[in-house]
Structure 1
Amino acid sequence: MKTTLQRIGMILFMTGFVFSVCAQEMEVTGTVYDAHDKSPLVGVTVQVKGTQNGTVTDVNGRYRIKVEKGNTLSFSYIGYLVQEIKVNKLHLDVYLKPDKVALEEVVVVAFGTQKKNAVAGSVMRVADQSYYLPSVIFPYPREVNTEEYEAFKENRFLSTIQHPLSTFSLDVDGASYSNIRRMINQGQMPSKDVVRVEEIVNYFSYDYPQPSDGYPVRIVTETAVCPWNKKHNMVHIGVKAKEIPSETLPVSNFVFLLDVSGSMFSANKLPLVKASMKLLVNNLRPKDQVAIVTYAGAAGEVLPSTSASDKQKIMEALDNLQAGGSTAGGAGIQLAYKIAEKNLVKGGNNRVILCTDGDFNVGVSSLTELESLIESKRKSGVFLTVLGYGMGNYKDNKLQTLAQKGNGNHAYIDNLQEANKVLVNEFGGTMYAVAKDVKLQVEFNPNFVNAYRLIGYESRLLNDEDFNDDTKDAGELGAGHTVTALYEIVPVGVDVPVGNVDKLKYQQTKNDVSLPKFADSKELLTVKLRYKEPDKDVSRKLEVPVLANRMNLNASQDFNFAMAAAMFGQLLRNSDFKGDAEYSDVIRLARKGLGNDPNGYRHEFIRLVEAVEQLEK
């Protein structure tokens, strides 16, 4: 009897052991390559089939994921065939084949996919209405589109006589471009409110000369014929911030403020956030420090301020993050600033890095409340970087408010390659300010300019008197950053595309012959710039005149590319001022402006325009 019981016990034990082995969790690592040229693929979605467990490949194409033995891993990437592999070993390299048919013929439409020639103008414009994201193209959970973008009217032409001054805050953000790229790569045409032209232009760096004479910024100017209206001219204003080698940057006191609410569950949200922050941590110095604050239904400190020399501790804290719950973003912001102020490094780089889809729904959540909250925090000496993630419920309008009102900048991270650009390649520009409250004011000479139009910057316009008011907030410039502004001007003698009003009864108008003539000057315009040093409250001013006879018949490569980017944005918005521009003109002008493109961003832009040209046929 005893022997029989022992045998039964042994059988039960062995059965349990077998089941245990079958259900054994293992950590699988590997690299995902392009099957054609064997190059590693960045940002590939690696997901356990039938679950929400997923990750994305890093800048070297590598991935790491925990999975039960026998489960199936799905590898998916836009433009490639999905590959599914049953897990039976710890190391698994994957070679994805390009899906030429999908790239050439398929576009995303409401509730499914169609052949391109069958759509006939029905391609969805994101944010116009709700739709479901088809998993055949983008393998994330289906969700109703509730993305939000701030509506705005584009700048119109202004009469130089009536409006001689143009004043605005500089904008170094490039979030709109990467968001547009995400949509186009999925076969979707963005709605006009997604398109902020200045952010398309400023996504790219330009080869402007370094500042001199002890100033942290420098102004460069150029004029040329307008490519979409040959009767008009273009004025190119470039601003370059001084470059600082990464190793000599001041000590960084970072607080990662990470959204771990339920809306961040998808593989292109929290897993991508964690991978992005790991890229940043890997490039920090031992003297830098990192704290981690998370928020869902409530906010909490996950990691107290920790030296970047203990990278393993920071990485483990990131690995342990899980998504779930509602979104108390306001509480998270308050706690993050409190911790940043507690560990403030005098003369250092003190910054909160917020990673979220912007879907705040608990506590402080409205645009007005968020604006008031962030304005109260910007006096703390702590700067703000806002990184947007995800799709379907992305709240661009809220993240724009946070960045604009809180001495901040804003980027949209659609894949790990973009995270590497923003957090590694452009670390100084993104993470360390050399000038704050940077404003531009341009005065036009009515002897030569009938009217002018600032291209973009609609959300950054200031009153003329704000230029000399040091209490008015404006944009920040990071180390090595370039900022570009473009004006389309109507020369004297060319019809002015502006409205008119009846002659005034109670005061003289400026075109009254009894008024004095304009000053006799050979200057086309004057560019003025105000800025403050990061730890100062009093601004300094730079001033550069532009002569009327400096028209360049052969625009520089940077000017050509900037004009191509602006033309692309105007076409996407179907602008009233796009003139006779076509996508083929954008491609031609961009190719003239390729110049030195070490990271391939300008070449990628041309491919993107080519894709839109096909979608619009």
Structure 2
Amino acid sequence: MKKLLLFVLIFAGLTGFKHGNTRTITGTVYSKDDGLPLPGVSVTAPGTQIGAITNDQGKFTIKVPEAANNLAFAFVGYNRKTVKLGKTDTLTVYLETNAKQLNEVVVVGYGSVQGQDYSGYVSASAPAEKQTLSRHFSQTQDKSYKTVVTKRDDDDESYAGITENAFTTVKNAPLSTFSVDVDAASYSNVRRFINQGQMPPADAVRIEEMINYFHYNLPAPTDGGPVAIHTELSAAPWNTKHRLLRIGLKAKTIDAQKLPPSNLVFLIDVSGSMFQDNKLPLVKSSMKMLVEQLRPQDRVAIVAYAGNAGLVLPATSGDKKSTINDAIESLAAGGSTAGGEGLKLAYKIARENFMVKGNNRIVMCTDGDFNVGPSSDGDMEQLITKERDSKVAISIMGFGMGNYKDSKMETLADKGNGNYAYIDNITEAHKALVSEFGGTLFTIAKDVKLQVEFNPAKVQAYRLLGYEDRMLAKEDFNNDKKDAGDMGLGHTVTALYEIVPAGIKDDYAGSVDPLKYQKALPVSVDRSSDEMMTIKFRYKDPDSATSKLSQVSIKDNPKALEATSVDFRFAAAVAEFGMLLRGSQFKQQSTYVQAISLAKGAKGNDEEGYRSEFIRLAESAKSMANELASK
């Protein structure tokens, strides 16, 4: 008995010793090529399950056992590095790039089931209380698990084709009309390609989403309205004979305590293709970040889908974070992908818990690879258009690579009164779900449209950069039944027009032969006006069916490029970079060197490091482009 007591005391003492003897290591990770900090780097202690991720400034903090000898650093597109721990608790680490294209083998797990395919909803290894979160699943799930080996194939990604906006003559079309777009998925997806040593497909590059990824310092509205309009005019960096107009919209912000209650449905893809580390595991971490932002008045339900869709967690108060997080953690990947069924069930649950004065929204996490039931982009557009009448909005969070279906998720967001973000690492998840929480989840103005009327006495031709899938007919501007994009709390939206001034001779104004059967009527032009254009802005309050109108006129009084704001110059640099990545026929004198130089001079107060990261990406793309040109 004494020996047993002595053994227990010794074990307790050792246990206490192990728990108490840890050390905290902090540091910063940089790219060796350019010396810029690297966000999103995985930091792990080999032989343990302890890990951390570098923040937007490349900094990390990790607690490791006293006996730990090394830390390992890994980031896509860079060589893995192991650093030996010495006496210092502060590290500075430099990672070397590796442009070798990734073609690894990924192990995908899935549950084998009997009867209907319910695999992938709840982990077979989860505690019993987690496995019974949904009786719908537990009745038929078989506990045996298999693994299959699949080769990642980047050619299986799909992107909607883009036909670039061309120059339009003011004589033939004085009005340009489009819907706003607050999505930013294209930029983080482009970043993923470049970080893994590849140039992105041209159709993956949506210039407006790249520009709108960044925060711009625009004044909030002061007239009581939800959105303020700001403009700037200068020369286009890639063709100084042309003008570049920036239209900036800034949505108001509201104190977090005054936000309406939220009725949220997390719609999570748990099919076999979500097994990879940058898919379902990253989804879980991302959703837990969102859960931390919830209040007692908020409610969350969880719907998961693989071969079928089911309710994993009924609507639960936002203060029951442990219950919600347990439900999230219980999910496991496996089976086919009935995305359409998942959407239908999520909308049904959202309607059943609808808050009349609240924020009703689905947060969908998926790689978009639907393969059971309605699955085409057209099917999704038809389904989502029907469901949006429910007044339930949708936020699409895209994850993963290889079989990523960008076109499908863009359709869901565009047609479903929603927004779309691509989450490639935990830092991006923090940006979308914590830093930009209000903009992601709370609509402040809906059906937001812009219409620009150009004065033919001042403007010969114009071109809107990006927004190709957001163009509207001129009649749609005054049609309140025509759906358009929404803006969330604190959102900024930037649109750039390249303008050919009247009297400039170049190849972009265009001309056509005189008509044979109609005689051209003379156009009466008011040459006494010094206005270059008038911008009309139309929107609806979130609970209204009737739009409101405001407008502003712009004079032909451009600033010198160096006298413009840092935001103007940075947005222009991003647009120039986007045209180069797309191989745009309108890039004119654009160069990587010019875009990088412009961005370096317009970093401004880059507290979060996103602009520095852009410069690093542009320099990497320049190197790859030079290498491709030399072959």
Q: Is the 8 A contact 1:33 1:95 kept in 2?
A: yes
Relative distance call for 1:36 and 1:520 in structure 2 (3 A) is closer
Tell me which residue corresponds to 2:142: none
Q: Is the 8 A contact 2:235 2:558 kept in 1?
A: no
TM-score of the two chains, using structure 2 as the length reference: 0.80
Counterpart AA for 1:590: A
Q: Is the 8 A contact 1:381 1:535 kept in 2?
A: no
Tell me which residue corresponds to 1:170: 180
Counterpart AA for 1:600: G
412-421 vs 588-597, which deviates more? Answer: 588-597
CA distance in 1, matches of 2:295, 2:164: 43
CA distance in 2, matches of 1:537, 1:313: 38
Tell me which residue corresponds to 1:603: 612
Counterpart AA for 1:573: R
Is 1:560 the equivalent of 2:559? no
Tell me which residue corresponds to 2:516: 505
Which runs of structure 2 are paired with 1:263-282 in the superposition (5 Å)? 263-282=273-292
Counterpart AA for 1:527: I
CA distance in 1, matches of 2:571, 2:39: 29
Match of 1:262 among 272, 278, 281: 272
CA distance in 1, matches of 2:422, 2:623: 25
Counterpart AA for 1:581: S
Is 1:142 the equivalent of 2:141? no
Relative distance call for 1:141 and 1:345 in structure 2 (3 A) is same
CA distance in 1, matches of 2:351, 2:557: 52
CA distance in 2, matches of 1:533, 1:466: 18
CA distance in 2, matches of 1:194, 1:509: 41
CA distance in 2, matches of 1:147, 1:537: 38
Which runs of structure 2 are paired with 1:164-203 in the superposition (5 Å)? 164-203=174-213
> CA offset at residue 200 of structure 1?
0.7
CA deviation string 1:409-453 (max 9, x = no partner):
000000000000010000111110000110110000000100001
326-335 vs 588-597, which deviates more? Answer: 588-597
> CA offset at residue 369 of structure 1?
1.1
Counterpart AA for 1:508: K
> CA offset at residue 245 of structure 1?
2.0
TM-score of the two chains, using structure 1 as the length reference: 0.82
CA distance in 1, matches of 2:160, 2:303: 28
CA distance in 2, matches of 1:506, 1:519: 30
CA distance in 1, matches of 2:160, 2:23: 41
> CA offset at residue 364 of structure 1?
1.6
Structure 2: unaligned runs, 5 residues or longer:
1-21, 31-36, 64-69, 107-148, 627-631
> CA offset at residue 579 of structure 1?
1.4
> CA offset at residue 47 of structure 1?
12
CA distance in 1, matches of 2:530, 2:253: 34
Q: Secondary structure at the match of 1:450?
A: strand
Q: Is the 8 A contact 1:33 1:40 kept in 2?
A: no
Match of 2:542 among 525, 534, 541: 534
CA distance in 2, matches of 1:409, 1:194: 17
> CA offset at residue 555 of structure 1?
1.3
Tell me which residue corresponds to 2:393: 383
Match of 2:235 among 212, 225, 239: 225
> CA offset at residue 487 of structure 1?
0.4
Q: Is the 8 A contact 1:561 1:593 kept in 2?
A: yes
Is 1:108 the equivalent of 2:116? no
CA distance in 2, matches of 1:356, 1:202: 22
CA distance in 2, matches of 1:565, 1:592: 13
Relative distance call for 1:543 and 1:98 in structure 2 (3 A) is same
Q: Is the 8 A contact 1:238 1:485 kept in 2?
A: yes
Which runs of structure 2 are paired with 1:451-462 in the superposition (5 Å)? 451-462=461-472
Which runs of structure 2 are paired with 1:200-349 in the superposition (5 Å)? 200-349=210-359
Is 1:522 the equivalent of 2:522? no
CA distance in 1, matches of 2:27, 2:199: 27
Relative distance call for 1:605 and 1:340 in structure 2 (3 A) is same
CA deviation string 1:551-595 (max 9, x = no partner):
455211111111011001001111111111211111111122212
Q: Is the 8 A contact 1:34 1:98 kept in 2?
A: no
CA distance in 2, matches of 1:441, 1:413: 32
Relative distance call for 1:291 and 1:40 in structure 2 (3 A) is farther
Q: Secondary structure at the match of 2:241?
A: coil
CA deviation string 1:240-267 (max 9, x = no partner):
1111122221111111000000010000
Tell me which residue corresponds to 1:433: 443
CA distance in 1, matches of 2:54, 2:350: 28
Relative distance call for 1:63 and 1:363 in structure 2 (3 A) is farther
573-582 vs 395-404, which deviates more? Answer: 573-582
Counterpart AA for 1:450: Q
Relative distance call for 1:99 and 1:306 in structure 2 (3 A) is same
> CA offset at residue 316 of structure 1?
0.7
Tell me which residue corresponds to 2:42: 44
Tell me which residue corresponds to 2:425: 415
Counterpart AA for 1:76: A
